[in-house]
Amino acid sequence: MSDGKSKFKNDIKNKVTVVLGAQWGDEGKGKVVDMLAADANVVCRCQGGNNAGHTVVVGGKEYDFHLLPSGIINSACKSLIGNGVVIHLPGLFEELEKNVKNGLTGWEKRLLISDRAHLVFDFHQQVDGLQELEKGKKSLGTTKKGIGPAYSSKATRNGIRIADLLGDFATFSEKFEGLVAMYQRMFPALEVDVKQELEKYKLYAERVRPLVIETVSFLHSAVHSGNSVLVEGANAAMLDIDFGTYPYVTSSNCSIGGVCTGLGLPPSMIGEVVGVVKAYTTRVGDGPFPTELSDETGDRLQAIGQEVGVTTKRKRRCGWLDIPLLKYTAMVNGYTRLCITKLDILDNFKEIKICIAYKKNGGKMSYFPSSAEELGKVEVEYTTLPGWETSIEDVRKYNDLPKNAKAYIELIEELLQVPVKWIGVGKGRESIITVE
């Protein structure tokens, strides 16, 4: 029976490529996914909901995606929303309609939705707002999209899935009424017209039915058949509920582990892990931010980079690149390649700083702080590099970049010990340099 050789074929030669945000989100993952999707057969979302915001610019047209995988623009590949995503159906169809007006076609044949995905209802969004009000000054600055309450429903095992909606409607109605009643006991101010909502969801059930499949077997079949599968992480590593700056995080695992649990893929199927890094650092909402620039330089970064949230429309806080943070997320995610985005935003800076270490009580820290309180108190050690003070927007080859721009990229590689494969120098899909 055992001669030292297995008769079973467990070696998976075809691996899944994963794209993850390496900071606090808004790194430009959508553009990277759009680029890689040109060679993909399936592009997947594995977690989060319509609290995510990915922008893709193609042919001068700007597409904003919140629930839809960014690869849906590619007419040659399937776009899959996995079981780990929480879906607000009104928001999904509104997003589709908006992008159809902008030129998106043929999505009906390409979009697939997991029957295991949980639903976000309007009352989840109301609860999200009520919870933030209760916290007052201690609010977390959520997107109020109902993501946290929906994941809470999932964790307490009274959530409602797509499969429930498409099953016996009487059973769905009973579950819906029970969930509303539970939240109304918690929040007496919560008003829900149950009859009207159920009538609405009876229509949504038929509208979404043609898109829904059992996605785990579909994905495994796709991988074993030699198809190219690309996974698009939403949010980012520092917003991960376990590894981010808790409690100023999202409600899902947006690091590499969420790919496995959100799609039903084993770790052995994962190949390339692309970490997307903005050439400086931004974050939306509250929470510690060691390299934040609360001065004219921060204002310049915000203005030049047009740093306004796709989902929240809030101005993003801006600061210099943070290497200790990136080393930490690289440790968690195992990046095999990096994409540095928005390098062109630094074109007009005479000097550029990079945080190379955190200090505590005068000594360098050997770990990334687990608590937001400790992170908020670290001392930051910078190294200063000369800027290139010229436009790189039209550069398409690495060797054509200014010497100081290349020095900036090469220092990032050296400090992180991860190769930089792509560099973003503009908004469009053509504005990416591939490092040979």
Residue in this structure with the two tokens 């198809």, named with its chain if needed? 227
Number of residues assigned to the chain: 436
Outline where DSSP puts E strands in 279-333. 281-283, 317-319, 321-322
Asked if 98 and 87 count as a contact pair (C-beta separation under 8 A), the reply is no
Known binder of ligand: residue 31?
yes
Phi, psi of 61 (to 5 degrees): -95, 135
Extract the tokens encoding 148: 């946290």
Known binder of ligand: residue 4?
no
Known binder of ligand: residue 250?
yes
Known binder of ligand: residue 52?
yes
Known binder of ligand: residue 54?
yes
Known binder of ligand: residue 429?
no
For the CA atoms of 385, 387, 392, 398, what is the dihedral angle to 10 degrees?
-30
Q: DSSP string covering 390-420, please?
A: S--TT--SGGGS-HHHHHHHHHHHHHHT--E
Known binder of ligand: residue 310?
yes
Known binder of ligand: residue 29?
yes
Known binder of ligand: residue 410?
no
Known binder of ligand: residue 156?
no
Q: DSSP string covering 246-290, please?
A: TTSS-SS--SHHHHHHHHT--GGGEEEEEEEEESSEEE-SSS--T
Known binder of ligand: residue 312?
yes
Q: CA of 188: how far to CAs of 7, 90, 130, in Å?
A: 62, 25, 10
- CB-based contacts of 126, cutoff 8 Å, min separation 6: 146, 187, 190, 191, 192
Known binder of ligand: residue 362?
no
Known binder of ligand: residue 28?
yes
Element (H, E) at 357: strand 351-360
Residue in this structure with the two tokens 């939403």, named with its chain if needed? 234
Element (H, E) at 239: none
Active site residue ranges:
26, 54, 154
Known binder of ligand: residue 175?
no
Known binder of ligand: residue 137?
no
- CB-based contacts of 312, cutoff 8 Å, min separation 6: 53, 143, 284, 285
Known binder of ligand: residue 342?
yes
Known binder of ligand: residue 235?
yes
Known binder of ligand: residue 51?
yes
- Which segments are annotated as binding site for GTP? 25-31, 53-55, 316, 342-344, 424-426
Q: Binding site for substrate: which residues?
A: 310-316
In the annotated binding site for IMP, the residues are: 26-29, 51-54, 143, 157, 235, 250, 314
Q: Which residues are annotated as a binding site?
A: 25-31, 51-55, 143, 157, 235, 250, 310-316, 342-344, 424-426
- Summarize the annotated binding site for Mg(2+) as residue ranges: 26, 53
